[in-house]
Amino acid sequence: MSRLSEDNVRIAQEIIGRYPRARSATIPLLHLAQQQDGYVTNEAIRHIGELVGATSAEVLGTATFYEMFKFEPVGKYLVNICRTMSCALMGGDELMHHAEHTLGIKAGSTTPDGLITLEHAECQAACTEAPTLQVNYRYRFRVTPETFDALIEDLRAGRLDSEIPPHGTVARIRQRIPADRGVGAVAPEDVTTAPAWMPAPEAAK
């Protein structure tokens, strides 16, 4: 299991259909692959290339540019601790120091049981609630050593399973465009006239 499953291919085709060019779906499909396997496999890269009409090298070239894509297995939970200025001013470094000691690992590695991967993160856009962290991109605000320890305990005990999906799943709600409501994507070269609602003088220009 590493190419996209049949169900996921259906989702992939729905996503591709929304763009005037299939290649635009590359990043969404990489997320889909990561959701399926927890990380992006070589087979998934090849499969995505087939689906969007790109070579594996092109898809890999895009994928490796972006921080969120992982190319080897990571923990079920990815814990990202922010280290940019606002968080640093409010104790982000100290929080990371505490986390490394509590988990017994350095930032960038995974606990031996494969449950938690710890990483530095850059600004998470919650600067007034510093220091912040995200677990699989779900926020925790004003984190203290005590609330960090409680969080880890909850994760280990599976108490947050309903709130925090395993690594790979970002949004749990997908956009669905109903067939009877969608305008549909048109290749840019096939559009030569102004949209219907544009007033005549503008359309005639």
142-181 residues near other proteins, rule: CB under 8 A:
170-178, 180-181
Tell me the number of residues near other proteins by CB under 8 A: 74
Span from 1-9, 12-20, 108-116, 145-153 in contact with other proteins (CB under 8 A): 12-20
CB of 2 to other proteins, least distance (A): 19
CB of 77 to other proteins, least distance (A): 13
The sign of the dihedral angle between the CA atoms of 48, 50, 56, 58 is negative
Which one of 42, 50, 57, 89 is in contact with other proteins (CB under 8 A)? 89
Which one of 35, 36, 41, 62 is in contact with other proteins (CB under 8 A)? 62
Interacting positions 101-120 with other proteins (CB under 8 A): none
Which residues touch 122 (CB under 8 Å, ≥6 apart)?
82, 83, 84
CB of 91 to other proteins, least distance (A): 11
CB of 195 to other proteins, least distance (A): 5
Nearest in space to 72 (alpha carbons), one of 126, 34, 101, 124: 34
Is residue 26 near other proteins by the rule CB under 8 A? yes
The sign of the dihedral angle between the CA atoms of 32, 176, 136, 151 is negative
Q: How far is CA 101 from CA 1, 94, 111, in A?
A: 36, 11, 12
Is residue 186 near other proteins by the rule CB under 8 A? yes
Evaluate whether 121 touches 114 at the Cβ level (below 8 Å).
no
Residue 87: Cβ within 10 Å count: 26
